[in-house]
């Protein structure tokens, strides 16, 4: 039996949470999935940990940290399975839920990408004590999402589009109350645990209609390598939607996320001066601002520009004011400007649909 899924993990000095991730992956039958670990030049013992806990995993070692897109694109180019899962190194996968997503993919050939429900991963009160450790607790959790879940915190129920045409993670940090129990159309699936159809990825490469004489790397570009990190999943989902693929959410539990990279959105920054200052000076905010402007330039239609201009301008104005207090964030404006020509060469067409604005999904 040939595996129908490749599970692709990109890590960079990820050993802190990697052991739990690998332990969950080790329980997946080898005939069900190919597991590929791509290391971004880590200086910790991540690679040795993978070799020890997943001896059958394919390992690709890069010399330096090349971000999120390039390693995944390299992995995509090696995929021989019909489906691929991009998995963050701090997510413990629930295989029973993933099997349900794969079955949905099999049933619907128009479904280009899909995700399930992610919970926030928190240490149990009995770590290593009575009842076992964290992994034992996670593995006992059923994947069918009963209505009463007892204290769970949501991490993601898919990415929808805001009025400012940014990506918003549905359910992030919300207590589990039985919400998000219906299938839904999405703008994008989270790159941390997103299931993609390889046929859709190959058809939806970031190379736009204006690109000329692409390099070998550009010709195989799926996640936009110029983004380096952050919003590549939103950009890809937007492109898949515009290309006519369905991007969806199925209400099954697929994993637990330690969320080491922070949450999406300005309004998740916190309200204390220290919290805001820390986020303004964070590289994540710099990349998020730059990549947001590039994402708009690549994908926004003139209809969307007219309708959403006030909200876009408000968001950019907030970022501009914040950038006055952070040289690092201010530098994002210059980077966005210098790279705009290359980004515009990747621009593609579309019908101007706004997908999942504020969590309200349009008819499809």
In this structure, what CATH number is given to the domain that contains residue 122?
3.90.550.10
Same domain as 242, residue 301: no
The answer to whether residue 325 scores a pLDDT higher than 70 is yes
Find the length of the chain.
Answer: 364
Give the percent of the chain with pLDDT over 70. Answer: 77
Q: Which two tokens stand for residue 248?
A: 């969806």
The stretch 338-356 carries a mean pLDDT of 72
Give the percent of the chain with pLDDT over 90. Answer: 70
What was the pLDDT predicted at 219?
54
pTM of the model: 0.85
Other Cβ atoms closer than 10 A to 266:
16
Same domain as 108, residue 208: yes
The answer to whether residue 329 scores a pLDDT higher than 70 is yes
What was the pLDDT predicted at 67?
94
Q: Helix, strand or coil for residue 114? A: strand
Tell me the C-alpha to C-alpha distance, in Å, between residue 163 and each of 37, 121, 168, 317.
36, 30, 10, 15
End of a domain among 211, 236, 257? Answer: 257
Kindly report, residue by residue over 32-60, the tens digit of the pLDDT.
999 999 999 999 999 999 999 999 999 99
Mean pLDDT of the chain: 84
What was the pLDDT predicted at 263?
52
Same domain as 220, residue 118: yes
361 occurs within a structural domain: no
Q: Which two tokens stand for residue 53?
A: 């806990």
Say what angle helices 327-344 and 283-299 make with each other, to 10 degrees. Answer: 30
Same domain as 124, residue 217: yes
The answer to whether residue 270 scores a pLDDT higher than 60 is no
The answer to whether residue 79 scores a pLDDT higher than 90 is yes
For tokens 């607790």, what's the residue?
Answer: 137
236 occurs within a structural domain: yes
Q: What's the structural domain count of the chain? A: 2
Same domain as 160, residue 73: yes
Q: Which two tokens stand for residue 76?
A: 């995509």
More confident residue, 155 or 150: 155
Tell me the C-alpha to C-alpha distance, in Å, between residue 254 and each of 87, 174, 177, 326.
11, 17, 17, 38
Same domain as 208, residue 289: no
59 occurs within a structural domain: yes
The stretch 100-115 carries a mean pLDDT of 98
What was the pLDDT predicted at 284?
86
362 occurs within a structural domain: no
Same domain as 297, residue 198: no
Same domain as 279, residue 248: no
End of a domain among 257, 274, 293? Answer: 257
The stretch 78-89 carries a mean pLDDT of 98
Same domain as 298, residue 246: no
Q: What are phi and psi of 53, to 5 degrees?
A: -90, -25
355 occurs within a structural domain: no
Same domain as 243, residue 303: no
Q: Which of 138-147, 236-245, 248-257 has the lowest mean pLDDT?
A: 138-147
- Could you list the residue range(s) of the whole structural domain that residue 232 is in? 5-257
211 occurs within a structural domain: yes
The answer to whether residue 141 scores a pLDDT higher than 50 is no
The stretch 221-230 carries a mean pLDDT of 93
What was the pLDDT predicted at 355?
43
The answer to whether residue 145 scores a pLDDT higher than 50 is no
CA distance 184 to 25: 27
227 occurs within a structural domain: yes
359 occurs within a structural domain: no
Same domain as 169, residue 245: yes
Same domain as 144, residue 251: yes
What was the pLDDT predicted at 137?
44
End of a domain among 212, 231, 257? Answer: 257
Instruction: Give the confidence band of 297 by pLDDT, cuts at 50, 70, 90.
Output: very high
């Amino acid at each position: 039996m040939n595996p129908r899924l490749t599970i692709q993990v990109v890590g960079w000095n990820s050993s802190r949470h990697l052991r739990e991730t690998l332990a969950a992956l080790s329980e997946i039958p080898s005939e069900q999935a190919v597991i590929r670990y791509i290391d971004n030049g880590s200086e910790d013992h991540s690679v040795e940990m993978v070799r020890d806990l997943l001896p059958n995993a394919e390992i690709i070692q890069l010399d330096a940290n090349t971000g999120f897109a390039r390693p995944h694109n390299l992995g995509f180019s090696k995929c021989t399975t019909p489906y691929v899962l991009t998995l963050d190194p701090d997510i413990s996968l629930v295989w029973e839920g993933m099997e349900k997503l794969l079955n949905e993919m099999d049933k619907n050939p128009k479904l280009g990408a899909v995700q399930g429900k992610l919970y926030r991963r928190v240490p149990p009160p009995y770590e290593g004590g009575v009842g076992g450790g964290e992994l034992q607790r996670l593995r006992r959790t059923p994947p069918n999402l009963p209505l009463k879940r007892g204290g769970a915190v949501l991490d993601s129920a898919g990415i929808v589009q805001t009025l400012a045409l940014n990506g918003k993670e549905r359910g992030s940090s919300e207590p589990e109350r039985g919400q998000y129990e219906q299938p839904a159309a999405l703008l994008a699936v989270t790159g941390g645990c997103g299931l993609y159809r390889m046929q859709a990825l190959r058809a939806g490469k970031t190379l736009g209609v204006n690109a000329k004489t692409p390099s070998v790397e550009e010709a195989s570009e799926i996640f936009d390598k110029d983004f380096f990190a952050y919003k590549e999943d939103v950009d890809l989902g937007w492109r898949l939607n515009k290309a006519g693929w369905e991007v969806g959410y199925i209400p099954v539990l697929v994993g637990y996320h330690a969320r080491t990279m922070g949450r999406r959105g300005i309004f998740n920054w916190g309200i204390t001066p220290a919290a805001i200052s820390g986020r303004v000076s964070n590289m994540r905010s710099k990349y998020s601002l730059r990549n947001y402007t590039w994402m708009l330039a690549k994908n926004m239609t003139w209809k969307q520009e007219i309708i959403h201009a006030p909200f876009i301008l408000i968001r950019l104005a907030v970022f501009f004011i914040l950038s006055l207090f952070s040289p690092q964030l201010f530098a994002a404006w210059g980077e966005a400007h210098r790279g705009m020509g290359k980004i515009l060469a990747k621009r593609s067409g579309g019908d101007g649909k706004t997908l999942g604005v504020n969590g309200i999904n349009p008819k499809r």
